[in-house]
Structure 1
């Protein structure tokens, strides 16, 4: 009799163990299924404006950024490249930015309505599509978000980071962007300064100006003005030039500066992205052309 009870107890315990294991498996399945359905963390961007700081969900923030930074008429793949670059940019700055070119231009919904008028719904839907199709994707280099710099157009080549900003950055290297010369309708611009205006800008009575060195990409590296050395960037910023790729010619009206490209020249050329998209390149191909040896992945992975 004792043997029968022992066997019966063993069977009962075995049934209970199997039941527990099955229950645990069901719970594990439910949890894993729930986790896969969870949305990524809702990142909130702090956008500093002139009067206040806005708190905007990341993917919503990107609508206003792309609207402010790239023509909505551009190809969808170019817009998608801009979305990923802008998303990465703000993540690399720990979600704290302002609404100007110091960070990224950000337009509120009211500003978009004012700018686009009757095309508001169509344009916004196009940007939302670009965001949705790159949902929560960002670029990394060696596991860290990159500083995804971008600009309007180049002189046919982008610039090594150290040739414009301070310090080398492995993924911000000069690359070909020959498309910019023809696709950007305002790639070449001129700006003329009288001798008096140029002298006043540099705080001198008379002026003697000479370009003394160029970068490998053809941007001005150094300029000598009355014996004092300036960088191409310093000249560009002081005179409000479109880029630091310029030539100087003395004319009857004064010193004429002829520039090629628009912006600092580091990272992704927006007009280059547009041209690549027109050649049926994907946004991943565009990004991997302008940012060297990077990875593109979801930020919740």
Structure 2
């Protein structure tokens, strides 16, 4: 991608030189300065508690993959995560925080605490995944994509507009049937008493009813005493793993049975692991979960 830009700039300035608009040396200085802006070392500005820490991009990715994906996953899954995470942070102009609102990041001390004696080999595995995808990003119509990802689905991913605001062409629902069997915690349940729900909704619930679903099988709308909420709102209010759920009522209260973990938009991490186990490459994984995107290198 960068080579194409460089060639185009040379072509433009060849024309300008012919008509006398630039001297050769001035033109080449300008071209090289523009080219270097594209390829120079990039630092990520990470908001951590009460301070902003500047971390080189490829180094930042080590801590992100350590925080976001099990290191036991196959190398191709880790490589898919590396490209997704690199694209994600670049699409946000290298300014993120250290939470699930952006990407979870572990520093070296946190990785040592998490892995103990396995620290060195685990870090090396992640470093290899990053190095083998160095500079690779996903674009759509020439722009970095919003490379959303999550843990596991109910068997299908979610259309962007069914969870977030607005339709995104490359974030469409796709099959991810592997998730329901490969994720050991795909199905969970959580019970709330009427009083607990009353504290959350500011009204004693007499009836909680799912009234519609999305095309992916996630909850679209729920009524609580005739007031309507989205599936996302219910998930966030109750801190449920997923907005794919059923509701069962008993003498103990309301039990929410959930399927999947995360918002469901973009790449399923457990799905990526399953595809890697089927010997799919990281590029095949990415093209499956992100529709009609290009995988390019910002370092070439």
TM over 0.5: yes
Look up the match of 1:85. Answer: 84
* Structure 1 gaps, min length 5: 1-27, 33-38
Q: TM-score, normalised by structure 2?
A: 0.87
SS in 1 for 2:66: helix
User: Any idea what SS the aligned residue of 2:156 has?
Assistant: coil
Q: How does 1:179-218 map to 2 (within 5 A)?
A: 179-218=178-217
| SS state at 2:210 partner | strand
Shift of 1:205: 3.0
- 1:196: Cα distance to partner? 1.5
In 1, distance between residues paired with 2:129 and 2:199? Answer: 47
The 5 A counterparts of 1:85-124 are 85-124=84-123
Following superposition, which runs of at least 4 residues in structure 1 exceed 3 angstroms of deviation? Answer: none
* Inter-partner Cα distance in structure 2 for 1:290 and 1:88: 14
Partner Cα separation in structure 2 for residue 252 and residue 208 of structure 1: 14
Which residue does the alignment assign to 2:227?
228
What aligned pairs does 1:20-39 form with structure 2 within 5 A after superposition? none
Q: Which residue of 2 aligns with 1:273?
A: 272
Matched with 1:76 is 75
Aligned position for 2:262: 263
Separation (CA, whole Å) in 2 of partners of 1:281 and 1:58: 26
Contact 1:85–1:138 (CA<8 Å) still a contact in 2?
A: yes
1:40 and 1:277 map into 2 onto residues whose CA distance is: 31
Cα distance in 2 for partners of 1:110, 1:205 equals 46
- Alpha carbons 1:41, 1:300 under 8 Å: kept: no
Show the counterpart of 1:285: 284
Aligned residues: 265
Q: Which has the larger radius of gyration?
A: 1
Q: TM-score under structure 1 normalisation?
A: 0.86
CA distance in structure 1 between the aligned counterparts of 2:120 and 2:205, rounded to whole angstroms: 55
Matched residue, 1:145: 144
Alpha-carbon distance in 1 for matches of 2:288, 2:40: 29
Q: Which residue of 2 aligns with 1:242?
A: 241
Report the counterpart of residue 4 of structure 1 in structure 2.
none
